[in-house]
A and B are shown apart, each in its own frame.
Chain A
Amino acid sequence: MLGWELPPFFAGGVGMVCYHLSQALCKQGIEITYVMPFGPRMIRSDYMKVLVADHIFPRMRFKLKQVETMIGAYTTQESYNEDFRKYLLSLSPRDRVKALYGRHVFEEAYLFARKVRLIALQEDFDVIHAHDHWTFPAAIAAKKATGKPLVVHVHITEFDKTGGMSVNQRVYEMEREGMHKADLVIVVSNFIKQRLINNYDVPEWKIRVVHNAAEPMDKSVYHDASKIKETDKIVLFIGRITLQKGPDYFVEAAKKVLEKDHNVKFIMAGTGDMLPRIIERVAELGIADKFIFPGFVTREEVAKLNKIADVFVMPSVSEPFGLVPLEAMWEETPAIISKQSGVAEVLNNVLKVDFWDINDIANKILALLYYRTLHNQLKKHGFIEVRNMTWEGPAKQCIAIYEELMRMKK
């Protein structure tokens, strides 16, 4: 399996999915050799402890081979150069030489490909499963070298990241090549399946939909929010503050809500390129005292926020799946989600809106805050629904796909 990130070093949903999926696959008896590029050093220790332990999974092995690079899934060309410079400065001169191969994101991906090709020739495996487009060149190289079947797993596309505007041509081609050279393509929702058919020319027969699942936080959280909650209700947004996630629609809807009821606070947790503009807009609208921007939050803080919130909103413009509402529902907070998302295909006990319809978003926020029956119903049944969405299902589907791949090869 090829992945770009793995908790605790991750930047978003993709890392979580890789983690949960590989764990569930291991539980069902699949041997995984997880090859990933290098991240911060700490990833090795935490992670190995959880998965490699032979006494937990006696009959299977989960090997981690780390290859040195600097790429994260959400790196842009500019931020990468910056991070790379900082990283280099943090190393000793000897290490710097080692790390100094390829200074640009794309070169990194192709370097990774060369390394993976060698690894693949040494390893024994049946199927190549590659997550997210940065691993595609490596995946293709491995397939070419060993002749083993390849399935690529598409979590997000350039179109979703950019909302259809200013798609990066090189990224697009990298994505496209991976999809076409693969034997099968897994997507996380019907929403993305359609995207692949329309924008990437992928034939329908090649695509398999495997919806993501929900996984609980490891610890239960307690948070004393009594100070705020005395007077105010809390409406929560968690995600990158970037075009794709619709933070601007959240702000406009908040304004409408506040016109009807002053006693609501809006929390937007996350960072991103749109953050400055959002803060400006909030001030412009005169509602700055109703907003809280905690910045980047840890998994534990996410759980706490979800617990104290009264309503969770995901107004994404284009969301391939969307794990964040599942986390809210796990903490018994009703969610309002955009219809333009993959997760809307699988959830029943949520309120769904069109991301642009700020009147409807505001209407539903107010309804959840004031119709207690509705709030209780969604809170209770949402939790039950999420509890039943385990990773066993997607893992089983992947195994079926692996078997199909091996049949195809014969």
Chain B
Amino acid sequence: MVSVCFYFQVHQPIRLRKYSVFDIGNNSDYFDEQKNKEIIQKVARKCYLPTNKLLLRLINKYKDRFKVSFCISGMALEQFEKHAPEVLYSFRQLAKTGCVEFLNETYYHSLAFLFDKEEFKDQVLMHRKKIKDLFGQEAKVFRNTELIYNNELASFVQSLGYKTILAEGADHILGWRSPNYVYTPKTADKMKLLLKNYKLSDDVAFRFSNKGWKEYPLTTDKYAQWISAANGNGYVINLFMDYETFGEHQWEDTGIFEFLEHLPSEILKHPDNDFVTVSEATSRYPSVAELDIHNFMSWADIERDLSAWLGNSLQNTAANELYKIGKLVKEAGDPKLLDDWRKLTTSDHFYYMCIKWFSDGDVHKYFNPYDTPYEGFIAFMNVLNDIVIRIRDIKKQKKAITQNNTYTHKPDTGLFTHSFISEHPSKNLLNMYSYDK
């Protein structure tokens, strides 16, 4: 008996505009609304709408025998609400069928767990609420941004009440084991762990249209055979991938939609096979072993580690500076400021500063708003400096109120005469704390 467990990741970051040094202190409009709108509408047309429609059709055709799972980031959901409500509507239709499970992640699709666990918790609870409000589901399954995972994460997530967690079935942690079984995290004995079968997942997500691949073309009967071959050697085939596979990464003319359309019938030809949601997989099958994963791993790049976001000094500096001011942002008590700061935690901003893809033709370069990682860094740091100014202004205003004065913001001209995030970050923040002029 082999159960196919599909999980699709849906995410679009809210990208920054080319925010320059001259905007700091003068303009707190960080995000490129126009570009983000264009992108989300384009992807909706090419991917979300047609694929949702197809899935709905398949679910109705196979009446309870075809199931899938989704995880939609808060950033994507907000943009759907604003620019593509019909996409949200189609996801809600899917939810109504009862054959689709929605997972939780951090609302802002962030790396918060690595820097600030309180913030991580806040973002998870935000997402939980949003999913409940939109789709009526109290999620039992959690996946962290880009499937970043380790023991510590598992135990923390268990304390938040989840029953299942996902991770990448990377060779270096599996060893001789197979991803086709259910596991338990060593540090979270009440949870189940599902690992992505990266070979079969990437066959569809990456290799599908590659004419140089020796298995090209990938037909549904060939693929179904591979899946059935797991029989006796595992229970569950975890096909975890980016939803944009269907229509964006693999364009319509590659035949990806026809492939998806005929796959269920091929798979269900064998009476022993079926489709399951993530929770169904973990409740049906027992865990076969404990997995002890100490170092962080992810589903990104060949390395399957954190190097895509935190591999070079630009990324590390940007991330450290960002999370350092988290406490100050929250103390300032301005919800818009907090939301802006949180939008900066989205992992994509750091991905854009990755130097690895100078020689790569990476998939994430697709909607990258910058020509080079250096420009990504500059825009990000400039925005961060503006946030620091806003915190300072709020402090001044509060002070003015207590002294029965008024404070009006003046456009900031002498930027670098103040101590900002520049050469000696830690020194600047001490100045921030003791700002008392």
Q: Which A residues form the contact surface with B (CB < 8 A)?
A: 256, 259-261, 348, 351-352, 359-360, 362-364, 366-367, 370-374, 376-378, 381
Contact = CB atoms under 8 A, between A and B. Distances in A.
Task: Identify whether the interface residues of A are mostly helix, strand, loop, or mixed.
Answer: helix
Interface string B412-430: 0111110010110000000
A363 B20 CA distance: 6
A366 B23 CA distance: 12
B415 A363 contact: no
Contact of B377 (A261, A363, A374, A381): A374
A367 B382 contact: yes
Given A363-B22, A372-B423, A260 B416 contact: yes
Contacts of B20: 359-360, 363
Interchain residue pairs A-B with the least CB separation, the first 4: A363-B20, A373-B317, A370-B422, A367-B378
A377 B312 CA distance: 9
A121 B312 CA distance: 60
B283 interface: no
A255 to B, nearest CB: 12
B314 interface: yes
Contacts of A259: 413
A389 to B, nearest CB: 15
Contacts of A363: 20-22, 378, 382
Nearest to B377: A374
Given A348-B358, A360-B20, A367-B382, A374 B374 contact: yes
B422 A371 contact: yes
Contacts of B382: 363, 367
Contacts of A377: 312-314, 374
A372 B374 contact: no
Given A260-B21, A260-B413, 13 more contacts: A260-B22, A348-B358, A351-B374, A351-B375, A359-B20, A363-B378, A366-B416, A367-B378, A370-B416, A371-B381, A372-B422, A374-B378, A377-B314
B371 interface: yes
Task: Identify whether the interface residues of B are mostly helix, strand, loop, or mixed.
Answer: helix
B210 interface: no
Given A260-B22, A360-B20, A352 B314 contact: no
A362 B378 CA distance: 12
B371 to A, nearest CB: 7
B313 A366 contact: no
A367 B379 CA distance: 9
B313 A373 contact: yes
B416 A261 contact: yes
B372 interface: yes
A54 to B, nearest CB: 42
Contacts of A351: 372, 374-375
A346 B206 CA distance: 29
B411 to A, nearest CB: 12
Contacts of B313: 373, 376-377
Nearest to A367: B378
